[in-house]
Structures are given as structure tokens and as C-alpha cells.
Structure 1
Amino acid sequence: MPSRSRGQQVGGYERRRRRELRRAAERDWADGLGVDALLAIFHRLGHVDVLLGAAEQVCRSWRRAVREEPSLWRRIAMVGQEGIARRINRGGMACEAVRRSAGQCESFCGVYAGDDGFLVYLSEQAPCLKSLRLISCCGVTNEGIAEAVKEFPLLEELELSLCDNVAGGFQVFEFVGEVCPQLKHFRLNRNRFDYTEWNRNKDVRGIATMHGLHSLQLFSNHLTDEGLETILNNCPHLEFLDMRHCFNINMDETLLLKCARIKTSRLPNDPTDDYDHEVQSPIRPYIPQEPDWYSDCCYSCHTRHYDSFVCSRKKNYDSDDSGDDSDFYGKTWDEPHFYDQPSRYENDLDKYEKMLPFNMRTFLK
């Protein structure tokens, strides 16, 4: 076979070189983006998508921006991905996001993310926190809130929505008002209003200590007219008040006059179209239906039937209660020195330094 000429060899070399240069140009377009452009892209993706996505695998500059740019994690929002929320370890992801902020986190919003241990970790890693929003975080309790907020003297916004284990009461909220003098916005939203609740003004005394509030949202709270009047007398800077589904408030003339100074106020029966969470029907007391005709026998039988119904309901409720005070992760709330123990997420942070496939498996339960 005849050997290739010098010209053919040079031509083949040039073609290969052009192909390599073209491939390099196609591959390096992402690496040439500036940091500001990369951060704008990642902010549109959301923090959950950044932690679970393949951005770190694109190139070195993308990996450096995701892992070494604290400004990306200054305002953390662990929301979205509702379809696979139960499969994702959101608490671990929240800890990793806070760690990447390098102490510069100013705002944290978590949906189904974290427990009391995470709050303690957040208080240690985010001393400049100004906004804390916890939504549907059933692992958060009064004790965790009290332990964490004392490390947030700059806190201006606090939301505790649909957190079933935050029982409220004046002790924890009074402590919040004492250690967070700059608090301006407070939201305390319950799942639904309960007509059978007997301790109706349990939150009033604590909220009344938050003298600098500018906005207050109490959805499905049990406070009464007296409780609302106490809050209005002690929070003179209120500009927004939302008391929808607070059906123990009757709004007499005195309250209407006091609310007149507030720029925006939502009354108990106002529409809930713009409410951020799901609206559930109130819980009403059971009222047995009266029989059409009365006799001694019929009335006694009806009374026995109602008593047996109440007893059966109570028995079923008691049987559902296992008596175990341990939380979702096996810790006991009344265990001594609970907050001296590190969060379970803190021990796994070294795993998040691995490459993306391992990172994803770490976050999946």
C-alpha cells in the first residue's frame, strides 16, 4: 500500500486539531461564565435543586460556585420538590446548606425540614440570622425554639406555621420577645380552628411582649376579644393584622376602633383566597341529635348511647397514644441535656463532600 503523502498527513492533522478546538469550545462555554451569572442561574434553580442536581459535575467553576460561594446560601429556602418530599432527607440538606453559607446565612425557610437538633445547629452556624420561617416542621418543639432564638439577637421575622409540636404558651413567646428585641414580623398559624379548645388566650401574654411588631398573623388562633385587646395595647406599631379563622373574636365596637389605626387588617370571617397554606374546616364539638319524642326509657337510652360514644372516642384516642415521648428520630424531649447532644445531621456532613452520585444517595432516605 502506498504511503500517505506529506500533504495528506498535514491535512489530517489540521482537521483533527479543528475538531478538538471545536469540541473544547463547546465544552468550555460554561466554564467561561462569570460568578454573578452562575449565581443568578443557581438562584433560579432553588437550593433543593442545586443540592440534588448535577451542577457540580459540569465544570470546575460551577463546582466552586456551588460549594465555595457563601452568597448563594445567604437566603436559604428549602421548599419545592413536594412529589418526593418523603424520600428526601430535608434535615440533612438543610444542614448542608447552612454549612455552605459559612456563617453568612441571614434567612432560612424550611418546609418539612429539620427538628430541634437542626435548630441548635442553625444557631451555632448562623449568628447573623434575621429571618426564620418553619412550616410543617413537626420535629420542632417549644424547647427547641427557646434554645435557638437566644442565639439570634438580630432576628426580625419569625414564622411557626403548621408546626404541631409547637404548643405555644406565654413562656416560649415571652422568651422570644425578650431575647429578640428587633422582631418585627411574627406568624403563628395553626392547621385548623378547634371550638373545643379551653385554654384560649395562652399565646396572648407572650405575643404582648413583642412590642416592636409591625405585622402579626394568627390564623386559626383561639384568642378572645380580651386577648386581642391586650395585644393591640402592647403592640402600638402594628401595620398588618391577620386574625382570619379566629372565631372566638366577636369584634365589638371597642375592637373595631382599636383596629382602625391599623393599615391592613383581616377579620375572622374574611376570605382566605390569598392564604399561603391549606385551609381546613374548624373542629366543632359533638352535639347528639335529640329524638323526635321523649320518654323516660328513650331519654335514658339516648344518654347511655352518648356516654358510650364519648368513652369509646376517648378509649380510641388513648390507645393511639403509645406513651412514648421520643421524637421522630428517637430522642426524648424530657431527656436531660438534650441540647448538649449534636444533631444527627451533623455527624453526616463529611459525606456531602463526595461527588454528586454519592451526594444524592445521602439525601435520599
Structure 2
Amino acid sequence: MMESSEKCSNRKPRKPNWLELPTDLMKNILQRLDTVDIVTIARLVCPQWRNICKDPLMWRTIHISDIELNDMRFSFRCLEKICRCAIDLSCGHAEDIAIKLFGTDDLLKYMAHRTRRLRRLQISNCSNISNKGLIECVKKFSLLEELDISFYKKLSKKFLEDIGRCCPLLKSLNLANEFYVQVYFAHQVFAIAKTMSGLRHLAFSGIVCGDDELLAILNGCPLLYSLDLQNCVCQHQLNPSLVKRCHEQIKDLQLPTFSPDDGYDDDGGLAYMDTFEDTYANEYWEY
């Protein structure tokens, strides 16, 4: 008996076999990986994982946004191919897509024809996406509820008007200017206020925002729960009565910073505004 018990105690514990995990559990684990890793590595590991990755519901979320210019494993062209592959594997079930840097008009067009159930779209710093490409894209996303765009190129008024018309379910809009100066955005703000009355969450970053823009938002978006303008700039102090109304109407409120000197000329206007508009007025993205 002693020898038998000693043999049992000396046995090495059996290593777990990943292939014996239930399919649902394995699917849950794989879904926690980055989209790039699933496409390029996980689905090629073994037949079981490959079959799991063929399930369109595995691809309801497609995020390829953890990318930095100085730390690139793949070229932009390769990342676009990976994104297209994930979209194909979703078979139209993709609901949440995030892309960064590598996006193009062609990719948006591809996405628009194959992801009709899309509810959330995040586009970060994609210099090869134009206003025209965005306009053609949103026309296909009638179920879109959340839109998050950070841009180097000024978004057009027409694009924002088309979002309001084509995306009646839109509840959250986040627009961040990544240009090195604040940009004048009044016409775009008025377009949002005019066409997006159902918004619950609205955030701007890197734009000039004053009384007129704020009043338009309050009047045009009565359902707003949160308004984040803390990374915007005011040329003049906001009207106190308007500020009071903001606090009464909106529960989660971040107002813009008042900066009378930073970036302004002696007449109180934006020193860089005319330069910015003239420089880029003829670019194709001013569609």
C-alpha cells in the first residue's frame, strides 16, 4: 500500500488540453483577442479553432484600432486586407467596427455593402478617408446608433446633414479635431442641431464653440443627457443665462474653455482661421 500511494503522489498532474474545452467557452476566449490576432493567428492554429472562427457571430465586433505609427506590425494595405477578411467572415453580422490610420474610401465602400447591421462605427485619424467617402458610407447605415470620428480634415456640413437624415437611430456622436489648431465648426454644429434631434450624447474636441453654437445644440437636441465640450475653445465668455440653461437641461455637462488670447489676433478673431480655410479649401474632402 505504501508503494502504491508513493507512486500516486509522484505522478505529474495532467496538463489541461485546450482542445477539450467546450466550444462555447473556447469561442468566448477567442473573442477576447484582438481582431488582427484572430485573423492572422488564432484561426490558423487548428481545425477546431478554424471552425469556431467561421461562425459569423464571432465577428460582431471588429476592432483594428490599437495601432501606433512608430510600432507597426503590418502595413496599412495589410491591415485593410485583414479588416476586409473580418467583414467577410461576419457575413453581415458585424455591429461594432473600429479602424485607425489605415482606413480608405474603398474600405468604407466595402464595409457599407457588407455590414448593414452596423450600430457603432469608430474612425480614428484616417487621412485617406474623404467627406465624399463618408457620405456614401453613412447612407447604408440606417441602424447606426454611435459614431466616433477623429479627423485631420475638416468634416463637411453635408456629411453631418446626411448622417442626420440617413441614421435616424443615432444617439451618440463624438467628433474630435486632431489638427494642430482649433477649427471653426459653426455650420457643422448647426447641421447637427437641425438634423439630429434624437442625440443623447454629444462630444466635440478641438473646435471653436460659442453662444450661437451652444444655443443651437440646446434647441435642436432636447434629449441630450451628456454634452462634452471641455476640449473646445470659446472666443468670448459664454452668456451666463445660457450657461444656467445648460446646467438645467443637461445632466452631464462639460463646457468649453475660455481662451481670449491663445490663437486669436488683436481684433478678437482667429489668427489662423483664414489661413486654414484658404490652404485646404480646394482639397477634395471639402465636398
Same fold (TM over 0.5): yes
| Cα deviation, residue 147, structure 1 | 0.3
Identify if the C-alpha distance between structure 1 residues 57 and 94 changes in structure 2 by more than 3 Å, giving closer, same or farther.
closer
Q: CA offsets per residue over residues 145-167 of structure 1, 9 Å max, x none?
A: 11011111111111111x223x2
Q: Does 1:61 align with 2:48?
A: yes
Question: TM-score scaled to structure 2, two decimals?
Answer: 0.79
Q: Would you say 1:182 and 2:169 are equivalent positions?
A: yes
Q: Residue 85 of structure 1: CA displacement?
A: 5.4
1:217 to 177, 191, 203: 203
Q: Which runs of 5+ in 2 are unaligned?
A: 1-13, 267-274
Matched, 1:229 2:215: yes
More strand by share: 2
| Cα distance change, pair 149–171 in 1 and its aligned pair in 2 (3 A) | same
Residues 67, 100 of structure 2: 8 Å contact kept: no
In 2, Cα distance between equivalents of 1:116 and 1:90: 14
Shift of the 107–283 alpha-carbon distance from structure 1 to 2, 3 Å rule, reads farther
Q: Is the 8 A contact 1:239 1:262 kept in 2?
A: yes
Structure 2: distance between partners of 1:133 and 1:103: 18
Higher Rg of the two aligned structures: 1
Quick one: percent identity of the two aligned structures?
Answer: 29
SS at match of 1:45: coil
Deviations 1:183-240 (A, max 9, x none): 1000111115736x5x441212211111000000001112321111111101000000
Q: 1:256 to 1:285 in 2, by over 3 A?
A: closer
Q: Is the 8 A contact 1:193 1:222 kept in 2?
A: no
Q: 1:33 and 2:12 equivalent?
A: no
For residues 187 and 285 of structure 1, the distance between their equivalents in structure 2, rounded to whole angstroms, comes to 26
What does the per-residue CA deviation read over 1:290-309, in whole Å, with 9 as the maximum and x for residues that have no partner? xxxxxxxxxxxxxxxxxxxx
Q: Distance in 1 between matches of 2:231 and 2:243?
A: 17
- State the Cα distance separating 1:57 from its structure 2 match: 3.6
For residues 126-205 of structure 1, the aligned pairs below 5 Å read 126-161=115-150, 163-165=151-153, 167-192=154-179, 194=181, 197=183, 199-205=184-190
Q: Give me the TM-score of the superposition, normalised by structure 1.
A: 0.63
Letter in 1 for 2:190: R
Partner Cα separation in structure 1 for residue 110 and residue 88 of structure 2: 9
The C-alpha deviation readout for 1:64-116, integer Å capped at 9, x for no partner, is: 112x1111110111122532156352222111111111110111111223211
Equivalent pair of 1:220/1:244 in contact (CA under 8 Å) = no
TM-aligned CA distance change 1:190 to 1:85, over 3 Å: farther
**In structure 2, how many angstroms separate the alpha carbons of the residues matched to 1:257 and 1:70?**
49
Measured on the aligned residues, the alpha-carbon RMSD in Å equals: 3.0
Alignment pair present for 1:207 and 2:192: yes
Equivalent-residue separation in structure 1 for 2:173 and 2:254 (angstroms): 15
**Counterpart code for 1:137:** C
Q: Is there any run of 5+ residues in structure 1 with no aligned partner, and where?
A: 1-24, 271-281, 288-313, 326-331, 335-365
1:25-62 alpha-carbon deviations (Å, 9 max, x no partner): 97x93332222112222122211221232x23432111
Paired residue type of 1:186: L
Secondary structure of 2:263's aligned partner: coil
User: Which has the larger share of helix?
Assistant: 1
CA–CA distance in 2 between the matches of 1:100 and 1:263? 41
SS in structure 2 opposite 1:244? strand
Distance (whole Å) between structure 2 residues aligned to residue 211 and residue 218 of structure 1: 17
